[in-house]
Every structure is written in C-alpha cells, then in structure tokens.
Amino acid sequence: MADINFNEMIRPSGERSAEPAAGTDPRPPRWDIVELLFFAYRDFVGDADHVLEAFGFGRAHHRVVHFVCRYPGLTVADLLDVLRITKQSLSRVLKQLLDEGYIVQKAGDSDRRQRLLFATAKGEALVEKLARLQTERIDRALRDLGPGGAETVGKFLRAMIDRDDPDKVLQTILHGGAIAKDVT
Amino acid sequence: MADINFNEMIRPSGERSAEPAAGTDPRPPRWDIVELLFFAYRDFVGDADHVLEAFGFGRAHHRVVHFVCRYPGLTVADLLDVLRITKQSLSRVLKQLLDEGYIVQKAGDSDRRQRLLFATAKGEALVEKLARLQTERIDRALRDLGPGGAETVGKFLRAMIDRDDPDKVLQTILHGGAIAKDVT
DNA sequence: AATTTATGTCAGCCATGTTGACATATCAGG
DNA sequence: CCTGATATGTCAACATGGCTGACATAAATT
C-alpha cells in the first residue's frame, strides 16, 4: 500500500548537475543538504508538536514560552524581533500564555511602559519537557559523530544565520554571555 | 530604538542547568543547538520566501514543485507521504502549479489510476533558482568548516531524521541511489 | 460482480500569519 | 509643563495552509 509505483524507477534528477556545465557554475546545488534540512527540521519540531497538542498549544506558543523562559525579562519588542512576527500574532498567543499562567509580566524599572516577561514554574516545566525531547534527538544524532562533531555542527548552524541586524537574543547566542551595554 | 532595556542585563537562564542536579539527569538540554536550529532554519527558508512572493507562491508550493522536480514521476500518494499533509492541502497548491504550467501529469503505465508528476522547464527553472539561493547559504556556512565538515553535517542531519516508516523519497535520500524493487 | 485502491472534490473549521487604524501610558526634550 | 516619540494593547478584516468528513470516479484486484 505504501509502495506503489516502484517499477517507475525513481531517481533523483539532480545527478545531471554532475555534468560540469561548461564550467560556468562553480557551485552545484547542495540538493542533499537542502532536503536533509527539510526532513530533519520536520521531525525535530514534530517531537514538540505532539506534546503541545495535549496542552492545547501550537508551535507559536512553544516559541514564545521558550524564549521567555530562556531569556527572563525579555520585553514584547524583543520578542517581536526574535520571532519576526507581528504584534497581533504575538499578542494572541502571549495572552493565552499569560491567562493560563505560563508567563507573568512585570513593568520595567527604568521604563515603566515596558512589560518584562518571565516564565512561571509552570512555564519552565513545559519548556524543559519539550527541550528534553528535542535534546534526546540531538544527543542521539551527535553521538555517532566523532569528537568535535558537536562543535562542527554548532559552527555550521551559526554560519547559516543572517548576521545583518541581529536582535538582542541572537547577539547573546552568537557572541555568548550576557550583553553588556553602557546605557544608563 | 532596537536596543531598549539593556540595563536589565539579559542572560540565558539555562546556565543554571550547569549545576549537576544530583546526577539524576545525564543530559542537560542542548539549548544552544535547539535555538541555533530555529534561527538557522528561519533564515534558510527566508531566502526562498522572498522569491516565492514575487511568483505569488508560498512555501507549500515550493515544497511540492521541489520534490516533483527532484524525483520525477512521483505520484500524489508519494508526495503525501513526503510532505505529511492531507490530500486537501496538497491538491490546493498542486492544482495551482498544474494550472500555471510548473508541473504536468501523466497516467501511470502499470496502473493508470496513478498520476505521475513531472516538473516542466518552467518548474525546473524555479526550483533551481531557489536551490541556488539556499546552496549559496549552505556553501558559505560549510566553507569555514574544516575538511570533513560537510560530511559531519550530513551525518548529523541524517541522524536527526526518524527512521521508522521512511517513505520512498526518504529511502532514496538516506540510502542513496535509486530504489530497486522487484515488482512486475 | 464485488471490493479495494488512487485520486479528485466539496464544504467548512482552525491556527497562525498579515495590515491598518486607533487608544493608552509613559518617557524625553525644549 | 507641554509636546512628540515610544511601548504596548486592541479591534476588524483578511490570507495561507493546515485539518476533517463525506462523497464520486475510474481502474485494479479478487
């Protein structure tokens, strides 16, 4: 039932780009990596999706509570930068997370217009539960890489990210440690 | 404007899991990789998104035309397995791609109920345009990895994918070459 | 002839993204 | 202190791309 049509011999058509086409294009498409990224990410987020369903949440909720948990005191504006979605989309899921007690707000000290966001114990528990699932998959994948494998993968992923206009969270991730800034 | 709230010293809260909590949990969350995957995939698909917009297409269209182009003769059922979406969702975008001449259908030889899918020249051009963009990013990222970097990354991504019940396309990707099967 | 399979299609729902407009509170500068 | 810029919240309306269930058709299988 799952295997129909096997007599029609399917073969990746990209093999033809093995022909060095007059030496004009120096970089043949990385079909393999492109597709592996698709499948890997699909299964990676799939882990969390199943659990989230039981909570009545979606991926959007996960992303919000995850970053709030990891970077306590994040403001709404920061979150918009990180997620690259609109205020509307964010406020919908953020409101639910606030109402259901996964996140709390606190007015900023220096600027009382800001709403600093913090995950509650409930929120942290959810984030950790999901991170544990995803970490299992990552550890499993890193295990059969030689030593230095994790470093190589980390370097690769960092290099895949756009560097122009990095937001606060991205800065922290890319350049490690807390962000020191001499304002105030 | 983009840098508000820097006096509230944000620091990843995951550092606390550096405390070996009574030695019970042998695997601390891989916060770094989890988040790098998010940012890397976001920017990776972002490349294609901009181009697709100009064509009036979305990510869904890209996935369909990509796999059809790469694995000519794919059936509708195969595509459903690969994308893991429903017939409805697929038929919506597939119809558009057929109508606009990016894909053509052909009845199967051995089973005339099947619709074998093929990308047209127009479809191939689009897929290659998008793949070129994504390949640029990948090449850039692989460049500053030592030798063997590409292999390591490939191994990692493969290991991130679920192995239970792999569909036809996944089989081809994971175990290389065409699928030989002794039916008929 | 009867059943199963591969596909297409219809109606409608939900989650999550978008825009634009507008209200409120607060900060910051003249 | 007033004024304008800023941070946030909210409303209405819409698009995309998932989903379900029901049903139709044609072709294969038994």
B20 within a domain of the structure (yes/no): no
Q: Do the beta carbons of residue A146 and residue A138 sit within 8 Å?
A: no
The strand D neighbours among B residues 56-75, by Cβ under 7 Å, are 56-61
* Nearest-neighbour CA in chain A from B17: distance (Å): 11
Assign 3-state DSSP to chain B and report helix, strand, coil percentages, each to 5: 60, 5, 35
Q: Is A178 in CB contact (< 8 Å) with chain B?
A: yes
Interface of B with A in 32-51 (CB under 8 A): 32-44, 46
Mind telling me how many Å the CA of B124 is from chain A's nearest CA?
A: 10
pLDDT at A184: 32
Residue B96 forms part of a structural domain? yes
Burial of B147 (0-12, 13-18, 19+ CB in 10 A): exposed
Q: Which amino acid is at B47?
A: D
Under the banding of pLDDT at 50, 70 and 90, the label for residue B181 is very low
Q: Do B43 and A5 touch (CB under 8 A)?
A: no
> Does position B180 have pLDDT exceeding 70, yes or no?
no
Residue B48 resides in a domain: yes
Q: Tell whether B12 lies on the interface with A, counting CB pairs under 8 A.
A: yes
Q: Is residue B92 part of a domain?
A: yes
**Domain coverage including residue A78:** 30-143
**With contacts defined as CB-CB under 8 Å, which chain A residues touch B139?**
27, 30
pLDDT one-digit tens code per residue, A4-41:
344 444 667 655 544 455 556 567 999 999 999 999 99
Distance B110 CA to C1 C1' (A): 23
Chain A 105-134, CB < 7 Å to strand C: 110-113
Interchain contact, A4 vs B140, CB within 8 Å: no
pLDDT at A7: 43
- What's the confidence (pLDDT) of residue B165? 77
For residue B184, the model assigns a pLDDT of: 32
Rounded CA-CA distance B9/B5 in Å is 8
Q: Tens of pLDDT along A85-111? A: 999 999 999 999 999 999 999 999 999
Residue A149 in any domain: the answer is no
For the cut 70, the answer to whether the pLDDT of residue A165 exceeds it is yes
| CA distance, residue A14 to nearest chain B CA (Å) | 6
Cα–Cα distance for residue pair B23/B138, rounded to 1 Å: 38
Helix (H, G, I), strand (E, B) or coil at A115: strand
- What's the gap in Å between the CA of A44 and the closest CA on chain B? 7
Per-residue model confidence as pLDDT tens digits over B87-131: 999 999 999 999 999 999 999 999 999 999 999 999 999 999 999
| Higher-confidence position of A51 and B13 | A51
pLDDT score recorded for residue B27: 79
| Residues of chain B contacting residue A180, judged by C-beta atoms under 8 Å apart | 9
User: Residue B137's closest chain A neighbor by CA?
Assistant: A160
Residue-wise pLDDT for B4-58, tens only, equals 344 455 667 655 554 455 656 567 999 999 999 999 999 999 999 999 999 999 9
For residue A9, give the nearest of B72, B104, B112 by alpha carbon.
Answer: B72
- Nucleic strand C within 7 A of Cβ B89: no
CB contact under 8 A, A44 and B160: yes
Residue A127 maps to which CATH number?
Answer: 1.10.10.10
8 Å CB contact between B150 and A153: no
pLDDT of residue A32: 95
Count of domains observed in chain B: 1
Mean pLDDT over each residue of chain A, to the nearest integer: 87
Q: Is the CB of B85 under 7 A from strand D?
A: yes
Optimal mutation site among A39, A78, A169, interface B, most CBs of chain B within 10 A? A39
For chain A, percent helix, then strand, then coil, each to nearest 5? 60, 5, 35
Q: Is residue B37 part of a domain?
A: yes
On whether residue A128 sits in a domain, the answer given is yes
Q: What's the rounded mean pLDDT across residues B167-174?
A: 89
B96 has a chain A CB within 8 A of its CB: no
**Predicted local confidence at residue A167, as pLDDT:** 87
- Residues 6+ away with beta carbon under 8 Å from A28: A14, A17, A18, B135
Query: ipTM > 0.95?
Result: no
The mean per-residue pLDDT over the stretch B146-171 comes to 92
| Optimal mutation site among A1, A4, A50, A81, interface B, most CBs of chain B within 10 A | A4
pLDDT (0 to 100) of residue A3: 38
Write down the pLDDT at residue A1.
Answer: 37
For residue B69, being part of any structural domain is answered with: yes
pLDDT band at A183 (very low <50, low <70, confident <90, very high): very low
Token pair belonging to B88: 């409805």
**Residue B26's pLDDT is what?**
65
**Confidence class of residue A68 from pLDDT cuts 50, 70 and 90?**
very high
